[in-house]
A and B are shown apart, each in its own frame.
Chain A
Amino acid sequence: MKKINKNSLNGFVNYGIIIAAFIVLQILIGKGVLSNSLQSLLVPACCYIVMAVSLNLTVGILGELSLGHGGFMSLGAFSGIVASILLQDLIPMAPVRLAVSMVVGALAGALGGVIVGVPVLRLQGDYLAIVTLAFGQIIKNIIMVLYVGVDETGIHVAASSDRFVLAPGGTAIIKGPMGAVGVAKLASFTAGAILILITLLVVQNLVNSRSGRAIMALRDNRIAAESVGINVTKYKLMAFVTSAALAGAAGALFGLNYSSTVASKFDFNTSILVLVFVVLGGLGSIRGSIIAAALLYVLPELLRKFDIAEYRMLIYAIVLILVMLATNNDQLKSMLGRIIPKRKGAVSNG
């Protein structure tokens, strides 16, 4: 009983952090204190927070390595963009259209998750890592040759530019390697904050539920979990597909924040970047993912401010390595443990 209380308290603290940060940032924007460059980072930072929290569900809670989280983001981004343009006349209200597009993005991500997860999660070992790695590349390459457009006869989809013919007055939505161009910007910081709250609601409730305990049991000892009758594939798939769907929603928000999006944006590097956020924030720690994603996404932009602008990417890399070493340093950990006695327990949880 006591433990459950602690977990849900932990969850409420996370909601509190997000809501407090949202209010503070809104006040700062209202007062005109926040610079343009920081304001432009709010929406993508929200997307990356959702990405990190959702990947943490796969990597930290389920204990499977996924190297293709960017692929789900890509699916969500492009399906969300297509949905938003198709629904332009049907739903003139931008926030509603954004919400519908994000749902479409989530569904696309979930579909990708099912396609990858059903065969692969039945296997043991590192197969998920290998397949998701390939999945990310496949998605990138498919979207690079994909042409999607709409005219009065309906939606046109083609795999090469010469077969992609639109009636006059039609709109090309995705143009192969040029990506999606001319997207109306629908995303807002409010939508991002709401998406984070929804993500937290989904992930934290899943983790603290009966299913969540089954998922963690699988992570800790698969054989023991199976011996008490836990359906391995079902619970693995549950966590993985939820994670993919949330990544899809984040992708849709991201795609609708820029007027042009190219498939090569969501490559292996993006997947690894999100994984870095998760690992540095702490595997299994939702709050860690939120903080790590927010700080590490904003950091390279903050480094522009100094005279060291030329080295900002180098410094960013060094900071990442130092954080990794510092958080794994036993001496530092015990030192922190001595200062904050409560941390000892947290550390041993990993």
Chain B
Amino acid sequence: MKKKELAALFMAGVMSLGLLAGCSSDGGEASQPPASQAGTQSSQPNGGDGDTQGNTETVTIKVGGIGPITGDLAQYGLATQWGAQIAVDEINALGGPIKLEYDFQDDTGVTDTAVSAYNTLKDWDVDVIYGCTTTAPCVAVASETFADRYFQLTPSASSPDVTADKDNAFQMCFTDPGQGMAAAEYLKNSSLGTKLAVIYNNGDAYSSGIADAFITKAAELGLEVVSTQTFPDDKTTDYTVQLNACKDAGADVVFLPIYYTPASLILAQAKQMGYAPTFFGGDGMDGMLDMEGFDKSLAEGLLLMTPFNASGTDERTVDFVTKYQADHGILPNQFAADGYDCMYAIYEACCQIDGIAGMDHAQLCDALIAMFTGGQFQVDGLTGTGMKWLETGEISKAPVVVKVESGVYVTQ
């Protein structure tokens, strides 16, 4: 009996491994050139001095990414990993003076694992940290990079705590309070409705950060918030209580500063109960249309603020979306686009630094900080044009509101 169980288990293990290996081999191909981590390390004995090598033609910058690629938050971490990978491949194909070497470590969205992941990257002689994807790990890693003097650029950790008191941490995304205030201002200036309700995840820093700022700003602007509803985590599946409260309060606009998984359930359950206010979401909502099994008609008329529109028609976006879809079979969301832009921001800043060849990570950190906060440095990317950074590490770019019309985003 025991033997049988053991054998069955072993078989199951081997089979599931095989299955996973099968899946990843098509995704892995695209990430082949720079991501062969162990290989590059052994083939380049003095890998740590990659950027101090005598070869003045090209300088290799080691960019180490951190984010959740397993666990509950894997979808966001994978998007930032894959989006950045496309940028790295493009940059390396350009043959410019700077080459990027890219490694991405899993933090499962947990603080202590993120710090371990960061230390693993340090062992790899990383030059610049790209990440983390999620806020709480990013705050912990940012204080480590601040002490160790590594330049850090996060695609999506949006809390102001990430950059507070640290000169080396920069964000590619909006801050949560910034987004909440922008949403309130948009609702003030549009004629969507007069009675507002908010449903948010009070167990999540991102969601409550936006909601708090939104509620404060709405009160300032004289908007009427008739109902504030919360739920404890993204695994919640029943939102009828919250929706009924909004309905009973007579709300005609419901603001949802939440991620798309719970939002999709809210839209479905609102439709079931025949409640049809205008739903308005933050950038966490981006990606909903591409969810497996999601009925796109539910999102009809949904408004959301997102810096990135995958159905955009400019050449760069189309190119990015095509590559991303070819590699991973899904449409990229704003996490991927922010990741892509991060790599170009790092690349373009590095290109403008004089004498980068001899710098170690601390000198590079100071040079990049000077570049990012110098006022002259601007980056054009998928999520905005002429993006600049403030002294605090926040980005300044214009928020864009899009409306879902027949399954695609239409910029408002």
Q: From A181, A309, A325, A330, give the contact of B37 (CB < 8 A).
A: A309
Q: Which residues of B contact A35 (CB under 8 A)?
A: 119, 123
A314 at the interface (CB under 8 A from B): yes
B108 at the interface (CB under 8 A from A): yes
A260 and B139 in contact (CB under 8 A), knowing A37-B120, A304-B120, A314-B17?
yes
Complex CA–CA separation, A199 to B161 (angstroms): 35
Residue of B nearest to A181 (CB): B161
Q: Which of B3-54 contact A (CB under 8 A)?
A: 3, 5-6, 9-10, 13, 16-17, 20-21, 24, 37-38
A12 at the interface (CB under 8 A from B): no
What is the interface of chain A mostly: helix, strand, loop, or mixed? helix
Q: From A162, A261, A304, A331, give the contact of B105 (CB < 8 A).
A: A304
Q: Which residues of B contact A313 (CB under 8 A)?
A: 70-71, 106, 108
A26 at the interface (CB under 8 A from B): no
Q: Which residues of B contact A329 (CB under 8 A)?
A: 2, 6
Residue of A nearest to B144 (CB): A259
Complex CA–CA separation, A86 to B119 (angstroms): 30
Residue of A nearest to B219 (CB): A162
Q: From B10, B139, B159, B233, give the contact of A259 (CB < 8 A).
A: B139
A89 at the interface (CB under 8 A from B): no
Interface string of A307-323 (1 = CB under 8 A from B): 10111111000100110
A260 and B122 in contact (CB under 8 A), knowing A145-B202, A310-B24, A314-B20?
no
Q: Which residues of A contact B24 (CB under 8 A)?
A: 310
Q: Which residues of A contact B165 (CB under 8 A)?
A: 182
Q: Across the interface, do B203 and A144 meet the contact criterion of CB distance under 8 Å?
A: yes
Q: Across the interface, do B164 and A179 meet the contact criterion of CB distance under 8 Å?
A: no
B90 at the interface (CB under 8 A from A): no
Q: Across the interface, do B212 and A178 meet the contact criterion of CB distance under 8 Å?
A: no
B360 at the interface (CB under 8 A from A): no
Report the minimum CB–CB distance from A211 to chain B (whole Å).
Answer: 35
Q: Across the interface, do A301 and B120 meet the contact criterion of CB distance under 8 Å?
A: yes
Of the four ranges (under 10, 10 to 19, 20 to 34, 35 or more), the interface on chain A belongs to 35 or more
Q: Which residues of B contact A304 (CB under 8 A)?
A: 105-106, 117, 120
Q: Across the interface, do B116 and A37 meet the contact criterion of CB distance under 8 Å?
A: yes
Q: Which residues of A contact B6 (CB under 8 A)?
A: 325, 329
Q: Across the interface, do B123 and A177 meet the contact criterion of CB distance under 8 Å?
A: no
Q: Across the interface, do B203 and A40 meet the contact criterion of CB distance under 8 Å?
A: no
Report the minimum CB–CB distance from B154 to chain A (whole Å).
Answer: 13
Residue of A nearest to B24 (CB): A310
Q: Across the interface, do B208 and A265 meet the contact criterion of CB distance under 8 Å?
A: no
B58 at the interface (CB under 8 A from A): no
Complex CA–CA separation, A321 to B117 (angstroms): 25
Q: From B3, B112, B144, B202, give the contact of A265 (CB < 8 A).
A: B112
Which of A176, A181, A260, A328 has the largest number of chain B CB atoms within 10 A?
Answer: A260
Q: Across the interface, do A178 and B120 meet the contact criterion of CB distance under 8 Å?
A: no
Residue of B nearest to A39 (CB): B119
Which of A161, A181, A322, A325 has the largest number of chain B CB atoms within 10 A?
Answer: A181
Q: Which of A7-40 contact B (CB under 8 A)?
A: 35-37, 39-40
Q: Which residues of A contact B142 (CB under 8 A)?
A: 259
B381 at the interface (CB under 8 A from A): no
B209 at the interface (CB under 8 A from A): yes
Q: Across the interface, do B106 and A312 meet the contact criterion of CB distance under 8 Å?
A: yes
Complex CA–CA separation, A36 to B24 (angstroms): 29
Complex CA–CA separation, A77 to B69 (angstroms): 27
A285 at the interface (CB under 8 A from B): no
Interface string of B288-312 (1 = CB under 8 A from A): 0000000000000000000000000
Complex CA–CA separation, A200 to B69 (angstroms): 37
Q: Across the interface, do B111 and A258 meet the contact criterion of CB distance under 8 Å?
A: yes
Interface string of A153-184 (1 = CB under 8 A from B): 00000000110000000000000111101100
A193 at the interface (CB under 8 A from B): no
Q: Which residues of A contact B203 (CB under 8 A)?
A: 141, 144, 177, 264
Residue of B nearest to A303 (CB): B106
Q: Across the interface, do A182 and B161 meet the contact criterion of CB distance under 8 Å?
A: yes
Q: Which residues of B contact A257 (CB under 8 A)?
A: 112
Q: Across the interface, do B116 and A301 meet the contact criterion of CB distance under 8 Å?
A: yes
Report the minimum CB–CB distance from B338 to chain A (whole Å).
Answer: 21
Q: Which of B78-130 contact A (CB under 8 A)?
A: 105-106, 108, 110-113, 115-120, 122-123
B395 at the interface (CB under 8 A from A): no
Q: Which residues of A contact B135 (CB under 8 A)?
A: 178
Report the minimum CB–CB distance from B284 to chain A (whole Å).
Answer: 14
Q: Across the interface, do B17 and A311 meet the contact criterion of CB distance under 8 Å?
A: yes
Residue of A nearest to B209 (CB): A178
Residue of A nearest to B71 (CB): A313
A181 and B139 in contact (CB under 8 A), knowing A39-B119, A313-B108, A331-B2?
yes
Q: Which residues of A contact B123 (CB under 8 A)?
A: 35-37
Complex CA–CA separation, A313 to B16 (angstroms): 13
Complex CA–CA separation, A257 to B204 (angstroms): 22
Report the minimum CB–CB distance from B143 to chain A (whole Å).
Answer: 4
Q: Across the interface, do B115 and A40 meet the contact criterion of CB distance under 8 Å?
A: yes
Q: Across the interface, do B212 and A161 meet the contact criterion of CB distance under 8 Å?
A: yes
A44 at the interface (CB under 8 A from B): yes
9 A–B pairs (Cβ distance < 8 Å), ordered by A: A162-B216, A177-B208, A178-B161, A182-B165, A258-B112, A264-B203, A301-B113, A325-B5, A331-B2
12 more CB-based (< 8 A) A-B contacts, given A177-B205, A307-B37: A39-B119, A144-B203, A162-B215, A177-B204, A178-B159, A182-B143, A258-B140, A259-B143, A260-B111, A260-B139, A312-B70, A321-B13
Interface residues of A (CB under 8 A from B): 35-37, 39-41, 44, 141, 144-145, 161-162, 176-179, 181-182, 185, 254, 257-262, 264-265, 300-301, 304-307, 309-314, 318, 321-322, 325, 328-331
> What are the 3 closest A-B residue pairs judged by CB atoms, nearest first?
A259-B143, A260-B139, A40-B119
